[in-house]
């Protein structure tokens, strides 16, 4: 087997000999144990040898090709792999396959009605790459599945099969014991589904779906289209994600990774690993002497028949390293004598969506980066010499940890490669790959069929994709790599920890005289943490001094996380303002009102003052006793980002209407947005529109990041529709000799009647048009696009009111209710927009209260390496969330609206922290507000 160094990668110089070692025909299963497993899966008999440590999940996914059950955590903590065993929901990732012996197993594929004429995807359907089995009809679905569809109880859909399987059993048991019309409480549903996690935060819809179906509301098919056009594939387990791609002869990759940071490779000995049967190759990715800045850096890639074998072999690769000291947080990295992350400066990784501007670099600190040009920073500095409030806020690393990891599959055919990847940027990834491989663009194709969540973590180049693509070529095999949860939590991206020194001055007249924010961000080995660039948006007109520093540490690179810079920045800024309002005894709404001249914020303030808890906004510490309630208010603003020039292809022929673009749907609803846009532009029902995304070969679409997908593709669809309808009009006129013919909604109005688009395509016409996202009528705020992103005029606005209950004995904070108002102009798909908004609110709740990555300070290794240690909000953490859209068109902006995703998560942490202060009189200055911090805080009651 060849031993390759990193230098050889992408050069193709060391591939000789690899293919000779392949063993064609070797089964992908592990060695059989003495006795075969005999079981029933979805009603069909299975009789198969199984491996010693094979899990029930591996059995159904890899042997039976039933890929609806998902692995997400691998520890039984998230429930994505739940299946029914003798009717009882059980997690399958920690269930020995042998325990299914003699049992009746039902997976998501077998849940719908057995009489459905179409195949249930039972055993015998071989694993395959792209084409999913057909989904069952709505009539054949379990009522709970129909409820999930109707209530839009999902986004990316990756956790959905597990939720659906568990909730269907709950539903069936409930129905057996309760009359029609009687449903469970939220608490009962939360307890029943406490073994499930949804990173998108679809919990509100799940509550409605389970409660409604238990009452019998979904026993029959609900008329009308489900709000999300790819929902059916998701609730049936038929949606195929990158992790589900399985190709003939495909091998699995596992990485050998650095155990620590601050080290150098001394020696790599893979001799024992190479002897493991089923290992096809081990490629070295780091040479002796290579620098290992952070834990998890790739050292070697092991390719084997299956993951278990690869993992076993990887464990046998002996890597000795020379360890040095590490600095894994801001304080350690800035301490005198701290080990330097980049002793020779050099090139860092970039964690920002924005272009990183050169600046000073001193030891581990890079900066300042000033983002206050034109904001009178000098005046702000002078004003805060007598601050109304002055404090240091700190935040933690929040991991994106999408439930589908950063998986990829590479398949070479000659000098062309196809890469399936869980990515937010099929186009960007294809371009990057072509560049690195020095191949023409036509020879690189990237597919992202379904994407199981991303949140910003999958919008950048991933080194492992390059290694997998290269290993696939070197070893001449299709190759899949699915990171485990440990790798995902360590390397998959995180919101950088920040230390924010904030001073705010409000004068006696209530005017905002100045804001000073000096912020340090820890993006690990990367740079690009930036809060000031976001903070300059809020309270326009107020003098601001905004200065950011990157602090380099021996941690993996951060990644932009939904609203990068927003959540920490608003936590500090809105906390400071809340404190000033409290100190002055005024409502947090009334103190802000004079600082906002935009009508959108004024309307949000009016809305907030009409809410049920409005009378309590100014209260602090009303309750005594164990449980204390408080209401917190915070606001946020976000940019109007657009991907200018992106294209959408619209076709119409006798088979229907087809829209495609090389974008992707990671749960944000790109497919639905496109179909809705076609419906709105052409006046044809959404059901007649087929949508294709997730293929880099289509016309170039937007990266799904920066809240810009909808605002980019929708105007492009309208642009295409103008050309398409003109052509259809011409065709109709010439075919039928129409007179006085004009384009109208749904077809062509002419002198003697109306010809529908459908009748025109049925007459044999075949049309296509490419539409583009053009500049907004009002133009851009900055006259050029940076990194494929233009900044439009106007910004989005958010206001979140949170009612919390603090348990002063156990230090626990429960969010009871949230009212979240968003002004983003026109909302074109209200149901999925609401789902996305709720997801943003729940992610901010996790940020405020539960989520926290922790690294070992001595080695930089990840301590919170499972979803048992890294705490995502669950069903019971999800409060009732009322979403209010200020649905007022924004003039001068195409589609009359601006992006939604990021602004929904920016102010929530601040709102909850402010509510804790209002409840207790103690202001959380550090996130998350863990029980130990709450208890300590309650003892001090120190406010800033």
Partner 1 sequence: MIHFPLSPSDAVTLHAQGRATLRAGGTDVVDRARNGLLVGDVIDLRDVQPDAMFGGVSSTAGLGVPPSLSIGALTRIAALDVPALDAWPGLREAARTLATPQVRAMATVGGGLLQANRCWYFRHPDLRADCHKAGGATCAARSGDALRHALFDVGPCISVHPSTLGCALLAYDATFTVLEAAGLRDAGTVEALFGSGADPTRDNQLPDGAVLYAVHVDTGAGDRSAYGRATGRTWAEWPLVEATVRVGPAGVVIAAGGVAPVPVRLRVAEQALGSGASAGEAIHRECASRQLLAQSAYKVDLLAGLVQALLDRADRRSL
| Closest distance to partner 1 from the beta carbon of 36 (Å) | 12
Distance, in Å, from the CA atom of 793 to the CA atom of 891, rounded to the nearest integer, reads: 10
Is residue 30 within 8 Å of 54, Cβ to Cβ? Answer: yes
The string of DSSP letters for 584-605 reads HT--HHHHHGGG--SHHHHHHH
| Binding test (CB under 8 A) with partner 1, winner from 680, 877, 896, 902 | 877
| Closest distance to partner 1 from the beta carbon of 297 (Å) | 12
849 binds partner 1 (CB under 8 A): yes
75 binds partner 1 (CB under 8 A): yes
Distance, in Å, from the CA atom of 264 to the CA atom of 224, rounded to the nearest integer, reads: 61
| Binding test (CB under 8 A) with partner 1, winner from 143, 874, 907, 908 | 874
810 binds partner 1 (CB under 8 A): yes
Is residue 147 within 8 Å of 153, Cβ to Cβ? Answer: yes
854 binds partner 1 (CB under 8 A): yes
Q: Interface with partner 1 by CB under 8 A: which range of 18-26, 50-58, 551-559, 792-800?
A: 50-58
User: From the centroid of its chain, how far is CA 126?
Assistant: 30
E strand or H helix at 710: helix 709-736
| Binding test (CB under 8 A) with partner 1, winner from 46, 64, 66, 77 | 77
Cis upstream peptide for 52 (omega within 30°): no
817 binds partner 1 (CB under 8 A): no
Tokens matching residue 796:
């989005």
Site string for partner 1, 742-781 (x = CB under 8 A): ----------------------------------------
Q: Interface with partner 1 by CB under 8 A: which range of 84-92, 109-117, 283-291, 468-476?
A: 84-92
Q: Interface with partner 1 by CB under 8 A: which range of 89-97, 132-140, 382-390, 411-419?
A: 89-97
3 binds partner 1 (CB under 8 A): no
33 binds partner 1 (CB under 8 A): yes
| Binding test (CB under 8 A) with partner 1, winner from 8, 71, 109, 166 | 166
Q: Interface with partner 1 by CB under 8 A: which range of 606-614, 691-699, 769-777, 926-934?
A: 926-934
User: From the centroid of its chain, how far is CA 219?
Assistant: 32
| Binding test (CB under 8 A) with partner 1, winner from 38, 809, 892, 941 | 809
| Closest distance to partner 1 from the beta carbon of 498 (Å) | 20
Site string for partner 1, 194-213 (x = CB under 8 A): xx------------------
Per DSSP bridges, beta strands 880-885 and 812-823 are parallel
Is residue 817 within 8 Å of 828, Cβ to Cβ? Answer: no
510 binds partner 1 (CB under 8 A): no
Cis upstream peptide for 310 (omega within 30°): no
Complex with partner 1: residue 189 or 600, whichever CB lies closer: 189
**What would the 3-class secondary structure string for 512-577 be?**
EEEEEEEEEECCCCEECCCCHHHHCCCCCCCCEEEEEEEECCCCCCCCCCCCCCHHHHHHHHHHHH
Q: Interface with partner 1 by CB under 8 A: which range of 81-89, 286-294, 407-415, 679-687?
A: 81-89
Is residue 477 within 8 Å of 305, Cβ to Cβ? Answer: no
- φ, ψ of residue 308 in degrees (nearest 5): -65, -45
Q: Residue 853 half-sphere exposure, CB side, CA atoms within 13 Å?
A: 30
53 binds partner 1 (CB under 8 A): yes
35 binds partner 1 (CB under 8 A): yes
Is residue 405 within 8 Å of 482, Cβ to Cβ? Answer: yes
47 binds partner 1 (CB under 8 A): no
| Closest distance to partner 1 from the beta carbon of 874 (Å) | 6
31 binds partner 1 (CB under 8 A): no
| Closest distance to partner 1 from the beta carbon of 819 (Å) | 22
| Closest distance to partner 1 from the beta carbon of 102 (Å) | 9
| Binding test (CB under 8 A) with partner 1, winner from 274, 311, 602, 722 | 311
656 binds partner 1 (CB under 8 A): no
315 binds partner 1 (CB under 8 A): yes
269 binds partner 1 (CB under 8 A): no
Site string for partner 1, 270-299 (x = CB under 8 A): -------------------------x----
| Closest distance to partner 1 from the beta carbon of 728 (Å) | 54
- Beta partners for residue 825, in sequence order: 897
| Binding test (CB under 8 A) with partner 1, winner from 44, 365, 598, 856 | 856
User: From the centroid of its chain, how far is CA 277?
Assistant: 37
Distance, in Å, from the CA atom of 872 to the CA atom of 694, rounded to the nearest integer, reads: 28
The footprint of partner 1 on this chain (CB under 8 A) covers a number of residues equal to: 69
Is residue 674 within 8 Å of 693, Cβ to Cβ? Answer: yes
Rg of the chain in Å (alpha carbons): 28
Within residues 550-609, the interface with partner 1 by CB under 8 A covers: none
812 binds partner 1 (CB under 8 A): yes
| Binding test (CB under 8 A) with partner 1, winner from 72, 106, 120, 192 | 192
Distance, in Å, from the CA atom of 833 to the CA atom of 345, rounded to the nearest integer, reads: 44
Of 167, 229, 238, nearest in space to 198 by CA: 167
Distance, in Å, from the CA atom of 889 to the CA atom of 873, rounded to the nearest integer, reads: 34
Tokens matching residue 542:
């107020």
Complex with partner 1: residue 194 or 654, whichever CB lies closer: 194
| Binding test (CB under 8 A) with partner 1, winner from 138, 439, 778, 857 | 857
909 binds partner 1 (CB under 8 A): no
Complex with partner 1: residue 254 or 675, whichever CB lies closer: 254
Of 520, 521, 536, nearest in space to 380 by CA: 536
> 787 to each of 778, 779, 861, how far by Cα in Å?
21, 18, 33
| Closest distance to partner 1 from the beta carbon of 791 (Å) | 38
E strand or H helix at 273: helix 271-274
Distance, in Å, from the CA atom of 864 to the CA atom of 866, rounded to the nearest integer, reads: 6
260 binds partner 1 (CB under 8 A): yes
Within residues 615-654, the interface with partner 1 by CB under 8 A covers: 626
| Binding test (CB under 8 A) with partner 1, winner from 754, 936, 941, 942 | 936
Of 634, 498, 632, 642, nearest in space to 565 by CA: 498
| Closest distance to partner 1 from the beta carbon of 876 (Å) | 4
Query: 277-309: b or e for each residue (b if 16 or more CB lie within 10 Å)?
Result: ebbbbbbbbbeeebbbbbbbbbbbbbbbbbbbb
941 binds partner 1 (CB under 8 A): no
Complex with partner 1: residue 296 or 563, whichever CB lies closer: 296
E strand or H helix at 213: helix 203-215
Tokens matching residue 509:
């007249």
Complex with partner 1: residue 754 or 809, whichever CB lies closer: 809
| Binding test (CB under 8 A) with partner 1, winner from 12, 259, 645, 746 | 259
Distance, in Å, from the CA atom of 192 to the CA atom of 841, rounded to the nearest integer, reads: 23
Distance, in Å, from the CA atom of 336 to the CA atom of 328, rounded to the nearest integer, reads: 14
190 binds partner 1 (CB under 8 A): yes
Tell me how far apart the 2 most distant CA atoms of the chain are, in Å: 86
Of 333, 362, 346, nearest in space to 496 by CA: 333
Q: Interface with partner 1 by CB under 8 A: which range of 82-90, 685-693, 718-726, 740-748?
A: 82-90
- Beta partners for residue 411, in sequence order: 418
99 binds partner 1 (CB under 8 A): yes
- The residues that touch partner 1, with contacts defined as CB under 8 A, are 33, 35, 52-53, 55, 74-77, 79, 82, 85, 88-91, 94-96, 98-99, 101, 166, 190-192, 194-195, 259-260, 295, 311, 315, 626, 807-812, 814, 849-850, 854, 856-859, 861-866, 868-869, 871, 873-877, 928, 930-932, 935-936, 939
């Amino acid at each position: 087997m060849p031993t390759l160094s990193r230098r050889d990668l992408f050069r193709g110089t060391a591939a000789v000999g690899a293919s000779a070692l392949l063993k064609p025909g070797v089964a992908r299963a592990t060695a059989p144990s003495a006795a075969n497993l005999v079981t029933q899966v979805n009603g069909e008999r299975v009789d198969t040898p199984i491996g010693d440590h094979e899990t029930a999940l591996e059995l159904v996914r890899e042997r039976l090709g039933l890929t609806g059950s998902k692995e997400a955590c691998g520890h039984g903590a998230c429930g994505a792999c739940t299946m029914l065993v003798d009717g009882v929901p059980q997690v399958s990732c920690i269930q020995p396959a042998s325990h299914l012996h003699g049992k009746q197993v039902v997976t998501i594929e077998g849940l719908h009605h057995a009489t459905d004429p179409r195949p249930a995807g039972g055993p015998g359907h071989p694993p395959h790459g792209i084409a999913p089995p057909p989904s069952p009809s709505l009539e054949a679905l379990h009522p709970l599945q129909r409820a999930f569809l109707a209530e839009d109880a999902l986004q990316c859909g990756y956790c959905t099969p597990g939720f659906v399987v568990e909730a269907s059993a709950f539903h069936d048991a409930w129905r057996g014991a309760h009359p029609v019309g009687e449903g469970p409480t939220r608490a009962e549903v939360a307890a029943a589904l406490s073994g499930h996690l949804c990173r998108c935060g679809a919990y509100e819809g799940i509550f409605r779906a389970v409660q409604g179906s238990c009452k019998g509301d979904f026993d029959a098919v609900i008329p009308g289209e489900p709000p999300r056009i790819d929902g059916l594939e998701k609730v049936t387990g038929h949606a195929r994600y990158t992790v589900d791609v399985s190709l003939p002869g495909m091998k699995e990759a596992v990485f050998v990774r650095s155990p620590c940071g601050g080290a150098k490779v001394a020696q790599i000995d893979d001799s024992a690993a190479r002897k493991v049967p089923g290992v096809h190759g081990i490629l070295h990715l780091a040479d002796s002497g290579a620098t290992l800045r952070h834990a998890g850096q790739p050292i070697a890639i092991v390719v084997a028949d299956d993951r278990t074998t690869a993992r076993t072999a990887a464990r046998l690769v002996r890597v000795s390293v020379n360890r040095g000291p590490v600095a894994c947080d801001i304080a350690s990295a800035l301490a005198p004598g701290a080990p330097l992350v980049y002793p020779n400066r050099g090139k860092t990784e970039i964690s920002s969506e924005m272009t990183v501007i050169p600046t000073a670099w001193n030891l581990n600190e890079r900066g300042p980066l000033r983002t206050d040009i034109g904001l009178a920073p000098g005046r702000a500095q002078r004003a805060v010499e007598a601050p109304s409030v002055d404090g240091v806020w700190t935040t933690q690393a929040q991991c994106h940890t999408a439930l589908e990891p950063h998986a990829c599959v590479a398949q070479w055919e000659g000098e062309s490669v196809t890469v399936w990847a869980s990515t937010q940027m099929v186009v960007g990834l294809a371009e990057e790959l072509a560049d690195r491989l020095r191949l023409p663009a036509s020879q690189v194709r990237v597919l992202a069929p379904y994407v199981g969540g991303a949140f910003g973590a999958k919008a950048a180049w991933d080194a492992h994709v390059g290694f997998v693509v290269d290993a696939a070529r070197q070893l001449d095999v299709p190759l899949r790599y699915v990171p485990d949860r440990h790798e995902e939590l360590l390397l998959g991206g995180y919101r950088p920890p920040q230390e924010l020194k904030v001073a705010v001055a409000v004068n006696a007249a209530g005017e905002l005289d100045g804001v000073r924010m000096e912020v340090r961000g820890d993006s690990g080995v990367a740079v690009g943490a930036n809060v000031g660039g976001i903070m300059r948006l809020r309270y326009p007109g107020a003098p601001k001094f905004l200065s950011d520093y990157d602090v380099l540490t021996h941690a993996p690179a951060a990644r932009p996380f939904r609203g990068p810079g927003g959540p920490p920045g608003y936590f500090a800024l809105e906390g400071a303002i809340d404190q000033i309002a409290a100190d002055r005894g005024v409502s947090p709404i009334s103190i802000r009102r004079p600082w906002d001249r935009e009508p959108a914020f004024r309307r949000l303030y009016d809305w907030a003052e009409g809410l049920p808890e409005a009378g309590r906004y100014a209260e602090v510490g009303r309750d005594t006793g164990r449980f204390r309630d408080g209401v917190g208010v915070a606001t946020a603003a976000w940019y109007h980002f657009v991907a200018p020039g992106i294209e959408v292809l619209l076709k119409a022929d006798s088979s229907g209407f087809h829209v495609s673009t090389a974008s992707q749907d990671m749960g944000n609803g790109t497919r639905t947005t496109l179909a809705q846009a076609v419906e709105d532009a052409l006046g044809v029902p959404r059901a007649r529109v087929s949508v294709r995304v997730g293929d880099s070969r289509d016309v170039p679409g937007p990266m799904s990041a920066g809240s810009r997908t909808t605002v980019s593709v929708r105007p492009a669809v309208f642009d295409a529709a103008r050309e398409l309808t003109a052509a259809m009009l011409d065709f109709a006129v010439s075919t039928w000799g129409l007179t006085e013919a004009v384009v109208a909604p749904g077809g062509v109005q002419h002198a003697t009647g109306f010809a529908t688009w459908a009748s025109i395509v049925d007459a044999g016409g075949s049309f296509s048009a490419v539409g583009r996202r053009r500049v907004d009528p009002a133009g851009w705020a900055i006259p050029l696009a940076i990194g494929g992103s233009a900044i439009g005029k106007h910004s989005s606005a958010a206001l979140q009111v949170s009612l919390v209950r603090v348990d002063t004995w156990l230090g626990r904070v429960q969010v009871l209710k949230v009212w979240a108002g968003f002004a983003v102009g026109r909302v074109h798909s209200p149901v999925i927009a609401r789902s996305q908004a709720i997801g943003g609110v729940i992610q901010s709740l996790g940020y405020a209260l539960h989520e926290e990555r922790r690294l070992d300070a001595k080695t930089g290794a990840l301590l919170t390496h499972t979803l048992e240690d890294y705490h995502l909000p669950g069903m019971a953490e999800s409060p009732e969330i009322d979403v209010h859209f200020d649905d007022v068109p924004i003039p001068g902006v195409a589609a009359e609206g601006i992006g939604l995703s990021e602004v929904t998560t920016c102010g929530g942490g601040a709102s909850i922290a402010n509510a804790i202060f209002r409840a207790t009189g103690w202001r959380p200055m550090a996130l998350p507000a863990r029980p130990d911090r709450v208890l300590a805080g309650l003892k001090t009651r120190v406010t800033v």
